[in-house]
Amino acid sequence: MKMQAEVIREGELEKRSDSLFQLWKKKLVVLTKDSLSLFPDGHKRAKGKELGFGSILKVDCVERTGKYIYFTIVTKDRKEIDFRCPDQSCWNASITMALIDFQNKRAIQDFKSRQEMEQASIPLDDKPDRVSWTEMGQGTNEGKRRRELEAAWFSPSLLRLLSKEP
C-alpha cells in the first residue's frame, strides 16, 4: 500500500492535450515533494497521472502573457508537456522549486553513497579514525581534480554543505 505524500500545493492547471486540435483541458494538480499528480475534470476520485520528479528533466517557462504563464515540463525521455496557469498563481515556480529540492536531495544521497562505497573499498587496517582535508588530497593534483569534478556536478551551496568537516 502506497503512503500518501505530504501535499505542498493543490489546485488547478490547464494542460494542452496531445490531440490534433491541442485543446487546453483543466486538471486538478497535486504537488508533493516527489511528484506532480494530474487528475482529469478536477476530481481526485478518478485515476490520475503521476509525474515523478525522478523522470522530470526540467521546467521551462515559455511565455508570459497578461493573463497566463505558459510553461513546459520536459521529461528525461525528452517528452514535452505544456501547461498554462493564471499569471498570479506562480504554479511554474512552485513546481520548479519542488523539482530543484528533489534533485538536490538526490545528489546528496548519490554523493554519500559514493563516499560509502569508496570507504568500503579501503581495507579496515588502512582506515584512519579521522582524515583531514590535506590527507584526503586537498593540496595535491588528485584532490584538485576531485574537487573540480564535484564542482561540475553540484551547485556551490550544496558543495559548501558537503565540504564541512565532521
Q: What would the grid cell of residue 154 be? A: 553540484
* The pLDDT of residue 1: 40
Residues in the chain: 166
So where are the chain's domains?
A: 7-99, 128-161
Query: Please, are residues 71 and 59 in contact by the beta-carbon 8 Å criterion?
Result: yes
* The pLDDT of residue 85: 93
* The pLDDT of residue 136: 52
* The pLDDT of residue 152: 53
CA dihedral 85, 90, 92, 97 (to 10 degrees): -160
What top-level class would CATH report for the domain 7-99? mainly beta
Q: Would you give per-residue pLDDT tens digits along the chain (166 residues)?
A: 455 679 999 999 999 988 888 899 999 999 999 999 999 876 676 788 999 999 999 999 878 888 999 999 999 999 999 999 998 889 999 999 999 999 999 999 999 988 888 887 766 555 555 555 455 555 555 556 555 555 555 555 555 566 655 4
Cα diameter, the chain: 68
Q: How far apart are CA 140 and CA 118, in angstroms?
A: 18
Q: Work out whether strand 68-75 and strand 49-52 pair parallel, antiparallel, or are unpaired.
A: unpaired
Tell me if the pTM is above 0.85: no
